[in-house]
Amino acid sequence: MKIIKELIPYVFIIVIVVLIRTFIVTPVIVSGSSMDPTLKNGNILILNKLAKTYNRDDIVVIDVKVNGKRERIVKRIIGLPGETVKYDNHILYIDGKRTHDDFRMKTRDYDLSEYTEYDKIPEGYYFVLGDNRTNSLDSRDYKVGLIKKSQILGKPIFRIWPLNKIGTI
């Protein structure tokens, strides 16, 4: 009986940690170079799973199926529901207006209507890109396409690795 009483606090702590990790925050590891220069391969982030509203330029973690395999990818929201997205001559246009794109680099021309059945992003969907526009599996690829809101697992809020880059994102 004494052993059970001694174990109760440890069991309680384990249950609390599992609940927090399942429903509130969890660590995520950045895999690949698609978010360079903002995030690097191997960065460890804390993901806020409670975030349910998303805006342009938010970094999000997404659950996608690529080649039959489920993956978590980290991308930046570029296009919101009801908007048009177009890349022309390496310039990003949202609803026909040139936008300021901090990650402007050579990338193929892209028009949403050429790759999807939609002229505008449908309600409940988002258009996402990696910050490394030339090396990113994102909404421009038919394997990923537009992202459903239900695929977004949350927003990374804090980088915990590497230690010299620790802080908010």
Annotated catalytic residue 136: no
What are the domain boundaries of the chain?
2-168
Predicted pLDDT of residue 35: 95
Residue 75's nearest CA partner among 45, 97, 115 is 45
| Active-site residue, 75 included | yes
Q: Which of 31, 34, 40, 97 is catalytic?
A: 34
Instruction: Annotate 84-143 with DSSP letters as a single string.
Output: -EEEETTEEEETTEE---TT------EEHHHHSS-SSPPTTEEEEE-SSTTS--STTSTT
Give me the pLDDT at residue 42, please. 96
pLDDT of residue 39: 96
Chunked mean pLDDT (size 10), the chain, 169 residues: 85 92 93 94 97 95 90 95 90 90 74 78 95 88 88 97 93
Of 31, 33, 75, 106, which residue is the catalytic one?
75
Provide the whole-model pTM. Answer: 0.87
User: Dmax over Cα atoms in the chain, in whole Å?
Assistant: 74
**pLDDT at residue 110, as a whole number:** 82
Domain 2-168 has CATH 1.10.3720.10: no
Say what the pLDDT of residue 26 is: 94
d(CA 125, CA 84): 12
Closest CA to 67 of 149, 143, 119: 143
pLDDT, position 104 = 63
